[in-house]
A = this chain, B = another copy of it.
Amino acid sequence: MSSNAFGKLFTVTTFGESHGPAIGCVIDGCPPGLALDAAEFAHDLQRRATGKSRHTSARREADEVEILSGVYEGLSTGTPIALLIRNTDQRSKDYASIGQQFRPGHADYSYWHKYGIRDPRGGGRSSARETTMRVAAGVVAKKWLRERFGVTVRGCLSQLGGITPNGFDWSVVEDNPFFWPDAAQVPELESYMDALRKSGDSVGARVHVVADNVPPGWGEPIYGKLDGELASALMSINAVKGVEIGDGFASAAQKGTEHRDLLTPGGFASNHAGGILGGISTGQPVTASIVLKPTSSLRLPGASLDTEGQVIEVVTTGRHDPCVGIRATPIAEAMMALVLMDQALRHRAQCGDVGHVTPRIPGKIDG
């Protein structure tokens, strides 16, 4: 029931600060028999990594995962899987000057008011460095979902500042540093980001994430709904200020005849619902979008206060992403995978492994 843990049955507890000795997580509830190797984490961690392109923070971390427990002779044993990554490229001195300052728009202020003490180095616990472990845990969830149910999760950037995709092609998303679905726009994004970085400012973004092949029936009404858990999971990502499922906010202006997904013998005729009705998956792709605010750590000065209440002007000199949304794609995928994995286990706990798409025969217990 830890606040640093996510998931009811597939429970991921993360720990670690941006500039502490290490970050890590404990995954509890992984089914036994899943093949796992430390090398499998590299791909998604690399996708999330800072320093992948000039458009993200210059911090370089090896992000080498050590599996400390829960795997024996290459297979999960059902016991907790602990993963550890040592921090190697901290530059804590960058933050010496802001230890007593509140950066406008940063968690500095709220952490200090909550705890009366905070680790100012790189944002401490509030740093997006923590999301590394979400991605690592997501690798485990993604693999089990894929092997057990054929479920796949993928994401892309769907807005960067004022720019939105002209076209949409999943096949190009992994080929550019922005996870952008229209290859023709990449030069425009490059120029935009170069100018932004030069200006010292930052910008917001949107990320879209989709899970395919999710069976109908996952999600627990009323307060453990699939969309409710997705909302919590995605909103918990650093800088996220909004979450949509399916048509999301566009639904406000829609008519019922326009929004409802008609059912045909070949399946649903559309997917305005984003694959969820009443908090339970329908078998359609599960779709969600999130918005990430612009980074608050800026080289451009901003009026603020220090811990003594004195008026100051804050300038941040550490290494930061001018658009945190760019690297948020694999993080959002990971959070969706964690939610689906958890719901998969919750579903079979209550409804059993088999038979849940066939109506119960009255009086017969097969659940």
Contact = CB atoms under 8 A, between A and B. Distances in A.
Interface stretch (A39-47, A50-58, A180-188, A289-297): A289-297
Nearest to A14: B222
Number of copies: 4
A15 B114 contact: no
B4 A28 contact: yes
Contacts of A177: none
Contacts of A252: 159, 161, 204-206, 291-292, 325
A260 B119 CA distance: 21
A218 to B, nearest CB: 8
A125 interface: yes
A360 B4 contact: no
A191 interface: no
Contacts of A205: 252
B106 A278 contact: yes
A35 B360 CA distance: 11
8 contacts: A1-B8, A3-B222, A16-B68, A17-B79, A116-B358, A159-B253, A162-B253, A348-B348
Contact of A256 (B26, B105, B162): B105
Contacts of A8: 1
Nearest to A8: B1
A225 interface: yes
